[in-house]
Structure 1
Amino acid sequence: MRRITRTTTTLGATLLAATLLLAGCSASSGSMTDESGGAPMAPVVGEDAGVTDGDSGNFSTEQTARDVIVTGSMTVTADDPLAASREAVRLVEAAGGRVDGRSEYAPANGDAGSANLILRIPANRLQEVLDDLSELGRADEISTNTSDVTVLVTDLESRIATQRGIIDRLNAMFAQASTIADLITLETAIAEHQATLEDLEAQQRSVADQVALSTLSLYLRSEAEAPVQEPMDFLSGLAAGWGAFVAFFSGLLVALGVLLPWLIAAGLVSAAIVLIVRWNRRRHAG
């Protein structure tokens, strides 16, 4: 009886080791193919496919779809940055996107406030939304970066398929196991591969979300916070001088408006003092 149990245990362990060895070889082969960076070999096309001598480089007119992650940043100077922030949120949500971050700052030190937004925009509508956001004010800066993750997506799909195959084979062996030792070994192996599978699937979902929704960092500011643009020619210098002239007298009028109530009060007090002094002099003279 002990010999039969020992033989069954040895057979189960041998089968488990062989299965894991074959699965590891297949996973290594898939990883080496992905990491080489080379394109997959094209299928052999014969005469039945209608390929002539002149078509020997054009097996397909359709290009392989690429998985690309797009990120960018944008700076807009607006008259009312807070109102522009609300409009930006509306535009993004109308396009099917969402807002992952939002910070707004109230007006202070003479500016009209500012806002920082982290926007997630559908990749196929990114340019359309950028054009709409540019109309919120003056677009001072727009930059985008792309990252091709096609190889990463393919690698994740291959590794996920490999892990699922391993788990299916381990489950089949688990159903046929006849000893407690084999059950414990198989259960441990299944748990480890299940954890690896869940981690790979989480990575796949994250990459898919970044591909589907581009990330844009939008900064909205007022004219007071924007850098001063130096004049480059006579007309721009004239415009800058006129703007300074108008700003000077505008500030002077503001200062006069602030001081006017005090000047009126001081004038009334001075007039009252002068009248009192004159009345005293006339009384003493009389």
Structure 2
Amino acid sequence: MGRPVLWVGVVLLALVSAGCSNNSSGTASMDAAAPQAADQKVAPQDKPDSAGVQPVQQPERQLVRTATVDLRSDDVRAAVSKIKDRVVAAGGFAGQENTTSTSGSVTLRVPASELDRIVDGIPDMRIGEVTRREMHSEDVTDQLVDVDARIATQKASVDRLRALFERAGTTSEIAQVEAELTKRQSELESMQRRSESLKGKVAMATLTVQVSTVPIEAPAPVDAGFGAAFRSGWDAVVAVFKVITVVVGAVLPFVLVLALPAAAVIYVLRRRKRVTRTNEEA
């Protein structure tokens, strides 16, 4: 293939890849709908009547789950150790840990399907009193669908660039296509790492356990009303005033030391000027 044709192919490939990236979600939906249309043609007797509503099959929701448990225990190290053993037995593992004789905290990764059972079972372990328990879920289904669609489009783009690279004839063509191929491959690997990270967070929930010999105070609720905003603004004004006062107090001694000689010099110069004018008039 000649050099002009190869350049045209590279440009068209870049344009097509950009268009495919924007329309990947729509293409996936059309591909998913095609088998359903074929099934309806094969089995028309299963088609609902005009008054019925065709149910829409929703994808399984992908949730990133986190949980926090606060414990009061007389033996902090023993409590942390038993919780870690329970998590490991369920297929999880311990992450960051910071434990002393009076307090401790540990972050654990737990299979998402086992999170509820482990959290519900902590009171039955008789290692202390549960003073606080919080559980949160974040839906990342749309993020995963989008990333997977982009990965499929990027793989096709990389394959096409590899085909162009094999047909490149000159050194400049090889360098141009290789640079573009390296860029697309890097983007593909970044998307794949993003997908693996999200899937890992979905598969393994995060459990944070804090243990202390005294009850741990719950976080203070956040007040977002007018009163809180006014107090915050007033505190800022007071802080600025304090800074200004400190600066003035630091600069004032230098001003006083320099002002007295400067005033004396100005007084002498003015007096001499008046004496000179008097002599000239006389």
TM-score, with normalisation over the residues of structure 1?
Answer: 0.66
Question: Aligned ranges for residues 140-179 of structure 1 at < 5 Å?
Answer: 140-179=131-170
The equivalent residue for 1:13 is 7
Residue identity opposite 2:53 in structure 1? G
2:68 equivalent to 1:52 = no
2:52 equivalent to 1:64 = no
Identity %: 24
Of residues 105, 124, 137 in structure 1, which corresponds to 2:113? 124
Offset, 1:183 = 0.8
Measured in 2, the distance between the counterparts of 1:122 and 1:130 equals: 12
Measured in 2, the distance between the counterparts of 1:19 and 1:187 equals: 14
The equivalent residue for 1:22 is 16
The equivalent residue for 1:211 is 202
Q: Which runs of 5+ in 2 are unaligned?
A: 218-282
Residue identity opposite 1:163 in structure 2? Q
Secondary structure, in 3 states, of the residue corresponding to 2:60?
A: coil
Offset, 1:28 = 1.5
- Relative to structure 2, which stretch is displaced further, 126-135 or 67-76? 126-135
The equivalent residue for 2:91 is 96
Secondary structure, in 3 states, of the residue corresponding to 1:64?
A: coil
Residue identity opposite 1:48 in structure 2? P
* Root-mean-square deviation over aligned CA pairs: 2.5
Measured in 2, the distance between the counterparts of 1:55 and 1:84 equals: 61
The equivalent residue for 2:79 is 84
The equivalent residue for 1:275 is none
Aligned CA distance change for structure 1 residues 95 and 18 (closer, same or farther; 3 Å): same
Aligned CA distance change for structure 1 residues 54 and 114 (closer, same or farther; 3 Å): farther
The equivalent residue for 2:181 is 190
Whether contact under 8 Å (1:68, 1:211) holds in the other structure is yes
Secondary structure, in 3 states, of the residue corresponding to 2:209?
A: strand
Secondary structure, in 3 states, of the residue corresponding to 1:56?
A: coil
- Report the number of matched residues: 208
Offset, 1:30 = 2.3
Offset, 1:169 = 0.3
Per-residue Cα deviation, 1:143-169 (whole angstroms, up to 9, x for no partner): 111110000000110111111111100
2:104 equivalent to 1:115 = yes
Measured in 1, the distance between the counterparts of 2:98 and 2:107 equals: 9
Whether contact under 8 Å (2:68, 2:134) holds in the other structure is yes
Aligned CA distance change for structure 1 residues 137 and 167 (closer, same or farther; 3 Å): same
Measured in 1, the distance between the counterparts of 2:207 and 2:51 equals: 43
Aligned CA distance change for structure 1 residues 49 and 55 (closer, same or farther; 3 Å): farther
Residue identity opposite 1:134 in structure 2? P
Q: Which runs of 5+ in 1 are unaligned?
A: 1-6, 35-39, 107-112, 228-286
Offset, 1:49 = 6.0
Offset, 1:79 = 2.4
Offset, 1:54 = 8.4
Per-residue Cα deviation, 1:38-83 (whole angstroms, up to 9, x for no partner): xx879444552613338933547x7531111011211011221210
Measured in 2, the distance between the counterparts of 1:54 and 1:142 equals: 50
Residue identity opposite 1:24 in structure 2? A
Measured in 2, the distance between the counterparts of 1:54 and 1:139 equals: 56
Residue identity opposite 2:100 in structure 1? Y
Offset, 1:124 = 0.5
Q: Pick the structure with greater CA Rg.
A: 1
Whether contact under 8 Å (1:91, 1:132) holds in the other structure is no
Secondary structure, in 3 states, of the residue corresponding to 2:95?
A: strand
